[in-house]
Each structure stands twice: as structure tokens, then as C-alpha cells.
Amino acid sequence: MRYSVSHITTLDYAAPVSLAQFNVRLRPAAWPGQAVSDFALSVDPQPAQIVDSDGGYYINESRFTLRQPIRHLQIESRFTVDKESLPFFVTGAPGPDLAEIRETAMKLPDLSPLGPASYIYASPIAALERDIALWASGFLTETMPVMEAGRVLMETIHQQFAYDTKATATDTPPIQAFNNRHGVCQDFSHIMIIAARAHGIPAAYVSGYLRTIPPAGQARLVGADAMHAWVNLWCGEDLGWVGFDPTNALLADTDHIFVGMGRDYGDVAPLDGTFRGGAQQSMHFSVDVAPLD
């Protein structure tokens, strides 16, 4: 599949703010089965310089500063992406059991952003939550193969939780969404990460996109009109990272466009920053993922 992706974010301030500094995390990092071309990021008003760096975890980060006071800012990212289907050796494999996953993850001498070590521990947003761990113990066992564990977890979330865009905000703690059994992709992903880590499975938060218009005769995927989030589980050295989408109960495949992954939302937030001034900020965005063929 080939897609054209565009993502426009506009920020408006009730009064001018000065020294606005932002991190934008929208340029997709390299990912198996996915090839990105003609990525373009434009910012208006244009900053003197946009500095690209790696964002610590597996994510690209662009940082810029606007010294002059602003009341309005628009950030636009566009790219074309080719997606290949997940190979059968991933979709058809059971993977090692959870006990083995945990032990291999701890032994691997790999501290890189793609190594499992950084994703096995609690993180600032996906903190230790006893209730979520206990809940997941109801259907996860030590001897379960990791792919099955991932599927069970994702399907259980899909069944038990209501998708509700009004129920939570970006900063709602995952435990609150868990207790009320509703939320959006971000909440579901965090809940799944906390549950997986509680059982020793390295789990990462993935930021990305879904195709907006479904193929003829199929239902539109949930979460396609904004950035989407799902969960990467580390499924052993052979399978590596496999994407599970608890919002749609699907493996991340040709409809899922990978942007980056981190320990939780905080590591891969599409936009964050600081400014001086007490003005109210309002944000609007539009996302379009259109198939090209």
C-alpha cells in the first residue's frame, strides 16, 4: 500500500507569547516493511532554525525556537509512505513463552533505543498499577506464548473498554481510564503497556497513523481522524517488536503507519514545548492518510 499523509496542527494564543520553544515528533523513524519518502515539515511563522535529533527513544525529534512574540502557529508535516504486509513468520509464529521473554530481555547486552531493556520497567506515565496487573493476571500465564499473550491482552481491552473521545484528556492517568473502562487509543495503549510490563513483557508506546478511508466494503478504523497509538511488544530475538492495536484488536499491519516508539506517550508526544506568557492556548489539528493506489 502507498499512502499520502498530511498532518496540520494550529496553535492559537489569547495573547502574544514569547520565546516559544517546541519539540515536534512527526518524522517517521525507519521501520521494517515501511518506506517513507519526501517528508516535509513546515512551520509558520518560520523559525530561524529547526534542529533535528534523535529523541532519546526510537523517535525523531525536531526542535525550534521562536524568539518573537506569536499569537498563532501552524505546523504541517507531509510525507508519502509505502507499506508491506506483515510476513507470515510474524503473524503465524507463537513466539517464546513469557518466562523466556523476560529472561532473554534481561540478558541481552543491548541498551539501544530498540533494545528491550528500556521498555520492561515502569515509566512516568505507564507507572506501576497494581489493579491493572491483577486484572491482566486473570488471563495471562507464565507459559503462554508471547504472541498469544499480546492477542489476548489486546482483544480483552477491545471487549471490555468503551471507545469514548470525550471521556479522557491527554493527561488523564491510565488508571483512571482503566477504572472507568473507557478512553481512547492513548489510554488503551497505556493500559496494555502496564499490564504487559507487570508480567515482564517489554512493551513500548507507538505513535503513528491509520489510513483514513477504509477499503471498499470495510468499516472505517477507529482513531483514523487523529494521530493513532498502539503497543509494540518485544516478542523475542527472532520476532523482535510486533505491533498490537488494542483500539481495533488488530496487529499493526498495512493500515498502521509507524512514526516512533518510546516508553509511553511522554517520549513520543507529537508536540510539546514551553513559552513565556500566561495566555490560554488552543490547539486544532487535521490528519489525512489517503491511499495513493
Partner 1 sequence: MSSSPPSEAGERPPGWLDGYPAEASRGDLFRDATEPVAARWKAVVASLAAKAEGDPSTLQDAAARHAADLGVTFRVTGDEDERAWPLNVMPLIISADEWAKVERGLVQRATLMEQLAADIYGPQRLVREGHLPAGVIAGSPFFARKMMAMGPRQGRFIHVYSADLARGPKGQWRILNDRVRIASGVGYALENRLAMGRTTDNLMVETRVRRLADFFAHMREGMAAACNRDHPRVALLTPGRFNQTYAEQAHLARYLGFPLVEGRDLSVLDQRLYVGTIAGPKRVDAVWRWINTNSLDPLTFDAKSQIGVANLYDAWDAGGVEMVNWPGAEVLESPAFAAFMPRLCRVLLGEEPLLPNIATWWCGQAAESSAVAARLDELTVLPAFGQRVEGLPSRRAVEGRSLSDRQRTALLEALWRRPMDYCGQEIVHLSTTPAVIDGEIVPRPFTVRAFVARTADGSWTVMPGGFARLSSSNGLPTTLMGAGDLSADVWIVDDRPMEAHLRSMLYEEPPVSRGGGILASQAADNLFWFGRYNERAEMTVRIVRTILDSSVEIDGSLSAQGNVLQGLIGMLVARGAITPKMSGQPAAAICAAALSDAAEPGSAAALLHRRQEVGLSLRERFARDFWRIVSRPMPMVDMHRPQSMLSTVRWLTEHFSALAGLVSENMVRSAAWRFLEIGKRLERAQALCRTVNWLVRDGDDSEVLGALLDLCDSQIIYGSRYLTQPMINPVRDLVLLDPDNPRALVFQVAEIVAHLEALPSVSDDNLPEPPLRAARALFGELQAAAAQDMTSERLADIEARLLELSDAISLRYFLQFDRDEAEKRTRLL
CA of 198: how far to CAs of 30, 133, 276, in Å?
29, 5, 40
The site for partner 1, by CB under 8 A, has a size of: 40
174 binds partner 1 (CB under 8 A): no
Q: Taking the mean position of all CA atoms in its chain, how far away is CA 66?
A: 27
C-alpha cell recorded at residue 24: 515536534
Match 518506506 to its residue by C-alpha cell: 35
Residues 218-277 that bind partner 1 (CB under 8 A): 266, 269, 272-274, 276-277
Choosing from 92, 109, 138, 217, the residue that interacts with partner 1 (CB under 8 A) is: 109
In the chain, the amino acid numbered 101 is I
Nearer to partner 1, 120 or 154 (CB): 120
Establish how many alpha carbons lie within 13 A of residue 15's alpha carbon, considering only the half-sphere containing its beta carbon. Answer: 5
> Do 233 and 181 touch, CB atoms closer than 8 A?
no
Choosing from 103, 131, 237, 238, the residue that interacts with partner 1 (CB under 8 A) is: 103
Contact range with partner 1 by CB under 8 A, out of 6-14, 99-107, 149-157, 185-193: 99-107
Residues 190-219 that bind partner 1 (CB under 8 A): 197-200
C-alpha cell recorded at residue 34: 515501511
Phi/psi at 292 (nearest 5 deg)? -100, -15
122 binds partner 1 (CB under 8 A): yes
**Residue 262: count of CB within 10 angstroms of its CB:** 24
Choosing from 105, 126, 193, 287, the residue that interacts with partner 1 (CB under 8 A) is: 105
Contact range with partner 1 by CB under 8 A, out of 115-123, 157-165, 227-235, 282-290: 115-123
Q: How far is the CB of 44 from partner 1 (least distance, A)?
A: 21
C-alpha cell recorded at residue 67: 524568539
Choosing from 1, 8, 63, 288, the residue that interacts with partner 1 (CB under 8 A) is: 63
Nearer to partner 1, 49 or 218 (CB): 49
Strand partners, 284: 10
Q: Is 131 helix (H, G, I), strand (E, B) or coil?
A: helix
In the chain, the amino acid numbered 2 is R
2 binds partner 1 (CB under 8 A): no
128 binds partner 1 (CB under 8 A): yes
Largest CA distance in the chain: 59
Residues that bind partner 1 (CB under 8 A): 19, 21, 23, 55-57, 63, 65, 102-103, 105-111, 113, 115, 117-118, 120-122, 124, 128, 130, 133, 197-200, 266, 269, 272-274, 276-278
